[in-house]
Structure 1
């Protein structure tokens, strides 16, 4: 006799079913460091790694990881960089 299989749902799936708005909206909280990072990158002049390190008190590898992982992959933002004379590499969120 074949054993019946049961479909299980994960906690994440259950939460999404109970509150669909929360499941689809993945935006940073008000004054989190991630939201501060995004605000710096959205400025017309952008931001360098050194400027972000001073403002957020994060290490440079943490900032690079946040831009690559959280901003690009999870939030789907397009982060561009360019070499600027006198400033070095400047990062910006493309609109």
Structure 2
């Protein structure tokens, strides 16, 4: 699976704003965790990188964990299992335009 990095600002509270580089498929998870208005995508281009969907799904589960009701953030946003992530990754990266 190809995945693309993006730069974001995460507003944790009025005094704490964190800059981070994450995969594009993580942005919606960050919005679910921190609130829509607290995530800002920044300009910038990154080359897509190859990642393993199963390993990435496990990484996301470990990084973002569960909400107060015990729901896994990744499953709330992406769905269950790496196949959902793989389908999302293909859509997010897109394909290069063909030369005519």
Q: Normalised by the size of structure 2, how large is the TM-score?
A: 0.28
Write 1 or 2 for the structure with the bigger share of strand.
2
**Structure 1 length normalisation: TM-score?**
0.29
Max radius of gyration: which structure? 1
Greater length-normalized contact order (CA 8 Å, ≥ 6 residues apart): 2
